[in-house]
Structure 1
């Protein structure tokens, strides 16, 4: 591919991932990775997606700062911080392909069921710290193995029927901390190449534009549309793991 073609593909992938993440709060890597992993080698694509995703998360946290629920999210974060180191150890010592495949199937089946169910029956209020910490731990473990730390918390919020602002306020801080922690662990063993830094700089205009459009649209869609978007992204992310 020519340099111009690579730039256009990079910008399109980053814009799409940033738009989806700005709108829903997660799934940057699932959307952008569906394109970038076919253009760049994994050693370049993965750290580039992590850097871009963290940038989008920072923008989301700032733009929606008034609705962030840090106190409630800390329980999930504490569990997730315990799960990520275990996931990294497993990545380095065990073949995790079967786990990713199985998790992708489960997420896809749940999302398909939730999209098709005639009426939603929700659980009681999210008041069990033990259950919330366990979900956070599972999200950290799964996130380290699949780059989808927000999948389990998003499903947990769907179980409880949380409105869109409350869900973003709970899940957004969790995803941001998980990604920062995972990137810090990765950088403790490897360094970002100059090529990754250059690609990140090139992608910044598309990253900013996609994030801004996504955040603006989030404020304008209703609860039902937001729920369908979340479930659709969970379905897409799960299928990406399977395929």
Structure 2
């Protein structure tokens, strides 16, 4: 493994772990574009998924007492039919369109959340069902399911532990499903496992740093962090869509 490859792999894992520890989501959106610089997406994507599952096992274990079970059940229930549609009907839709549409949707959620601060209103159950359904569709179609779910959870007025615990529990269960599908498809080969093992120490270091930083900020600052990560996620998705469109 070349030194440049090792450096990029470590930085991607470190940044992904830090983001997940701080905000409760975002590891894949942060790490995947970096890993794609030095490895094929057929390797980078399962590596990111395995790292995300490892992160969420740790976080769910630490935060399990703060999980908001009704919100988790609502999102998972809405995600299941979305996963089925994403795995079949959305195969014919360009990933450029899907990423662009998801990016615009996330930015709309952020704008809505910023406006909601002035009124104190929360996104209702209907938007929760839509967020779960969209996450299921997008997770199955392009491997990205975090932004819609994170946007809705962050709008519910839960404290930081409730937000992070519910998000990590959702991503853990959804991630196990994705990794199982990748295993059955033969994507979890020796190279993937090797890259994952090499990245794990940096991942754990980043996770610890992110969790430590989260414990030092107030609820209002945490809300800003979540909205900031969501905003960057939306911009990143739109940029990926443009990049893919012009690369073709």
Q: How big is the shift at 1:145?
A: 3.1
Q: Which moved more, 1:97-106 or 1:117-126?
A: 117-126
Tell me what 2:30 maps to: 31
Distance of 2:91 and 2:117 partners within structure 1: 43
CA displacement at 1:72 relative to structure 2? 3.9
Larger CA deviation: 159-168 vs 230-239: 159-168
2:180 aligns with: 184
1:156 corresponds to: 152
Contact kept, 8 Å, 2:160 with 2:219, in 1: the verdict is yes
Who is 1:21 aligned against?
20
CA distance in 2 between counterparts of 1:17 and 1:82 reads 29
Query: Aligned-pair distance for 1:94?
Result: 3.2
Instruction: Identify which of 226, 230, 235 aligns with 2:231.
Output: 235
The answer to whether the Cα contact below 8 Å between 2:10 and 2:199 also exists between their aligned partners in 1 is: yes
Matches within 5 A, 1:117-132: 117=115, 119-123=117-121, 128=125, 132=128
* Residue number in structure 1 paired with 2:106: 107
Report the alpha carbon displacement of residue 93 of structure 1 after superposing the two structures with TM.
Answer: 3.6
TM-score, normalised to structure 2's length? 0.86
* Cα shift at 1:222: 0.8
* Structure-2 residue corresponding to 1:43: 42
Cα-Cα RMSD: 2.3
Structure 1 or 2: larger helix share? 2
CA positional deviation for 1:33: 1.5
Specify whether residues 188 and 176 from structure 1 end up closer, same or farther in structure 2 by C-alpha distance, changes over 3 A only.
same
Shift of 1:102: 1.8
Offset, 1:111: 2.6
Uncovered stretches (5+) of structure 2, i.e. residues with no partner: 240-248
Aligned partner of 1:168 in structure 2 is 164
Q: Please identify, of 212-221 and 24-33, the stretch whose mean Cα deviation from structure 2 is larger.
A: 212-221
Instruction: Tell me the TM-score normalized by structure 1.
Output: 0.88
Unaligned runs of 5+ in 1: none
Q: Distance in 1 between matches of 2:119 and 2:154?
A: 10
Please tell me whether the aligned partners of residues 59 and 211 of structure 1 are also in contact (alpha carbons under 8 angstroms).
no
Q: Secondary structure at the match of 2:118?
A: coil
Is the 1:88–1:144 contact (alpha carbons within 8 Å) kept by the matching residues of 2? yes
Whole-angstrom CA distance in 2 between matches of 1:112 and 1:9: 33
Shift of 1:170: 2.4
CA separation in 2, counterparts of 1:118 and 1:76?
A: 21
